Chain A
């Protein structure tokens, strides 16, 4: 057969494209529910890690069910707030129906445009409040969770994740426990120019609302700094309550 004729080429590429699309669509449909369950447990384990209920690796080894159980037992309330910090929705916390807001992209735009907001707030029984943040790193989106003590100023901990930051450099916001541990016990100060700062070259000694940036990851550190401050401003009414 002449594999170089125009007709053959067109038919061949069409068949391959349709076939590949069909395979991908089928696989994505078939595996969808399992993937969603994994993603939900991942989101919750990140929230729990930020609130310092345990190490991230521990949650990962315990499995989805244990994570959801722990969350259900310890969470007091989960809801969304608008720009004034007034509750405008609840997130289900019963085990089968746990709802988290994982796609924060929309809210990130809403904050910047001052549009209709529904910012998620997770309150735990021990008084810790976890607030998500979302922003842009060097290569793609970065997001994470800040956990505050009852006073709304002191940070209990933080956890960050990213889609495609460089491993070993920007990727350290997720992988370097020492970077995340810097947040523990720090606080936010809305009277300062920046409520919280990630400082290139090292945070000034004695400053309680600043931490060191990551060497070789200037853009990721900047992106995280901006994300934290944008969302802190949006959450200001919740924190100052």
Chain B
């Protein structure tokens, strides 16, 4: 059991990474990787939301009618996201302002639905919670790596502080635009498959 639990937590971070292996959540990883700050906020919120909604769906798993399960899952995810948003708006307005842009992106994030569908509906609440959060972390990791290169080479800054731009670096406009995120993602997938030979397709 312990080894299985460990596998649940570690697998999504590298071997079964939601972005590079499952190829989920590509859309949001193109949109929010222009700067480190945004990527970190998004990574944290997705971790929280995938964890919580996996937990709730796992608790409900035996009662959900099979034919309408996607709709029920969507309702649960939307409820979680809106609740978090409402509480932040009342008690931590500063954080909410940072997050407001991402709320819509989280609800439609394929990873949230993907993990509920593939894992939470067949597993107990605790593993489901861990799986959801671990997938959020795996997703966030890729986001942060891509954002690191895009912010550094695109704007010459990191977390808004000038790094390369202080050395007279001329910003690269291509890196700021979404296609570069796809190119960087491709490079990450390439590196990962070079290390992990069993992922290579014959």
Contact = CB atoms under 8 A, between A and B. Distances in A.
Given A8-B65, A31-B89, A42-B93, A164 B72 contact: no
Interface stretch (B9-17, B31-39, B109-117): B31-39
B27 interface: no
B94 A60 contact: yes
Contact of B89 (A4, A38, A168, A169): A38
Given A28-B86, A167-B34, A167-B35, A4 B101 contact: no
Nearest to A60: B94
A65 interface: no
A216 B75 CA distance: 35
Contacts of B155: 168
A66 interface: no
B100 interface: yes
B161 to A, nearest CB: 13
B169 to A, nearest CB: 15
B6 interface: no
Contacts of B128: none
Given A164-B101, A167-B101, A215-B176, A13 B68 contact: yes
A131 to B, nearest CB: 23
Q: Is the interface of B mostly helix, strand, loop or mixed?
A: helix
Interface residues on B, range: 35 or more
A17 B100 contact: no
Nearest to B103: A164
Contacts of B37: 167
B173 interface: yes
B90 interface: yes
A168 B101 contact: no
B31 A23 contact: no
B101 A23 contact: no
A188 to B, nearest CB: 29
A9 B176 contact: no
Interface in B91-105: 91, 93-94, 97, 100-102, 104
B145 to A, nearest CB: 16
A168 B91 contact: no
Most buried by B among A23, A27, A60, A167: A167
Contact of B34 (A4, A31, A34, A169): A169
Contacts of A167: 31-32, 34-35, 37-38, 101-102
A5 to B, nearest CB: 8
A35 B62 CA distance: 37
B179 to A, nearest CB: 11
